[in-house]
Structure 1
Amino acid sequence: MSRNGKDIIDEINSIFKRKPFDFEEAENLITQLDLEKAPTELETILLNNINNKDDDARIFAYEYLYYFDSEHVFQAALKGTSDEEELVKINAIEILGSMPRRESLPYLEKALNSSDSLVRCYAAESIGYVGTGRAKELLEERLNKETDSFARLGLYSALYNLGEKEMLECMIGLLDDDNYLTVIRSLENLSAYVDKTNKEYISKNIDKLLQHKIPVSVREKAENSLNEIESI
């Protein structure tokens, strides 16, 4: 590790020791590191702060533990699914999705039945990455009773990834949803699922969305998605 990298990590460690935790300063520092080659010293600091009493400190720790894949990180992610802070839960759930293991299913199942629709959405997506028969059963069981559009999107995406290609039509249908956050995330997912067989169909429906009166944020996302699709 370079001298500069060590200095940055030492500064991040010092920020964790201050009260309150300065999320913005820590984030500005960590972006100067090559997180694809994130050093173990940083992993240790992040793991040491998963129980920090400052919510922002825990959120930061879990957000950047995503770049590590040790057993300690996996166990920390299991613990994080029960944290009281929503963003900690979501970050922990995303870590489990990046390290798909059967052992995480009971934790993700609990998150899938959370009262928070965002948590349910991310839990569904991570369950989809686990990819076992039981994982698919959990998703289908939840889909039968899920009413929130954002959470349903997570279920559609997970089941699509598990081979249920008819879920593409369900995701297309959410482009007309009243929840604009659902629409934006639907655009993100659809862009990721484009291939030669569905490219024209997805493009046509995004173009159809652009013909409507929609918020600027949705329009920008739709236009960017079309540009991405056209470049494929």
Structure 2
Amino acid sequence: MIEETKNILDEIQTIIQQKPFDYGTAKDLIDGLDLEKAPIELEGILLDCINNEDNDARVFAYEYLYNFDSEAVFQAALLGTVDDDDLVQMCAIEILGNLAKIESLPFLEKALKANDPHVRCFAAESIGFIDTDEAKVILEKRLDKETDSFAKVGIYSSLYSLGEEEMLSNIIVLLDDSYHLTIIRSLRVLEDCINQANKEMIKSSIENLLERDIPISVKDAAEIVLEKIKRE
């Protein structure tokens, strides 16, 4: 390990041990590392941090454990799905989606019933990466009960990725939702769905959205997707 990397890791470990945890400084330090070649020592530091009493420290740990794929990280992510902090749960759920192991399905199914609809959305999206009939059944059952539009984005997008193409129209309908984050997440999903068969329908829907009085954040997200469609 080069000296510069060792110094960064030592500083991160020191910050993690301090109270309160300084998320900003820790993030600046870790961003100085090449996370595509993340040193195994970093994984150990982050794993030691998942039981930290500071919520921000645990969020930090799970956010960057995403870069590792060991069994220890998988087990840590399973544990994170039942953390008291919603952000920790979402970061842990994203790890499980990235690893896409069928063994995580019971934990993700439980997360589909979380109080926070954002957690439910993330859980649905991660289930979609586990390409099995069981995953599809879990999502379909939850869809019958789900009432929150943001959570529905995750269910619709995953069922679409699992072969239910009719879900695309459901995602487009959410562009008319009253919750701006639902619209923005729907736009991001649509961006990933674009192909030659559906791009005109998506393009038309986004153009209609831009004609309405919408928040700047929604407008910016819509224009990004529209520009991508025009380039393809």
TM-score of the alignment, normalized to the shorter chain, above 0.5: yes
1:229 and 1:7 map into 2 onto residues whose CA distance is 45
Cα deviation, residue 75, structure 1: 0.3
| Equivalent in the alignment of 1:140 | 140
| Equivalent in the alignment of 1:99 | 99
Could you list the per-position Cα deviations for residues 67-91 of structure 1 after superposition, in whole angstroms to 9, with x for gaps in the alignment? 0000000000000001000000000
Equivalent residues in 2 for 1:112-127 (5 A)?
112-127=112-127
TM-score (norm 2): 0.98
| Equivalent in the alignment of 1:207 | 207
Equivalent residues in 2 for 1:57-136 (5 A)?
57-136=57-136
Cα deviation, residue 10, structure 1: 1.2
Could you list the per-position Cα deviations for residues 27-50 of structure 1 after superposition, in whole angstroms to 9, with x for gaps in the alignment? 111111111111101000000010
Cα deviation, residue 231, structure 1: 2.2
Percent of matched pairs sharing the same residue: 57
Q: Note the residue ranges of structure 2 that are not aligned, 5 or more in a row.
A: none
Cα deviation, residue 229, structure 1: 2.2
Could you list the per-position Cα deviations for residues 177-219 of structure 1 after superposition, in whole angstroms to 9, with x for gaps in the alignment? 0000000011111001111111111111111100000011111
Q: Note the residue ranges of structure 1 that are not aligned, 5 or more in a row.
A: none
1:44 and 1:90 map into 2 onto residues whose CA distance is 21
TM-score (norm 1): 0.98
State the Cα RMSD in Å: 0.8
* Counterpart AA for 2:87: L
| Equivalent in the alignment of 1:230 | 230
Residue 193 of structure 1 pairs with residue 189 of structure 2: no
Aligned pair count reads: 232
| Equivalent in the alignment of 1:20 | 20
* Counterpart AA for 2:49: N
| Equivalent in the alignment of 2:2 | 2
1:199 and 1:186 map into 2 onto residues whose CA distance is 15
1:3 and 1:203 map into 2 onto residues whose CA distance is 51
1:198 and 1:30 map into 2 onto residues whose CA distance is 40
2:137 and 2:55 map into 1 onto residues whose CA distance is 34
* Counterpart AA for 1:102: I
2:202 and 2:36 map into 1 onto residues whose CA distance is 32
Which shows bigger deviation, 37-46 or 219-228?
219-228
1:89 and 1:178 map into 2 onto residues whose CA distance is 26
1:17 and 1:113 map into 2 onto residues whose CA distance is 33
* Counterpart AA for 1:188: R
Q: Which segments of structure 1 move beyond 4 Å, counting only runs of 4 or more?
A: none
2:216 and 2:8 map into 1 onto residues whose CA distance is 38
2:124 and 2:38 map into 1 onto residues whose CA distance is 28
2:107 and 2:124 map into 1 onto residues whose CA distance is 12
1:33 and 1:84 map into 2 onto residues whose CA distance is 29
Which shows bigger deviation, 95-104 or 1-10?
1-10
Q: What SS does the corresponding residue of 1:48 show, helix, strand or coil?
A: helix
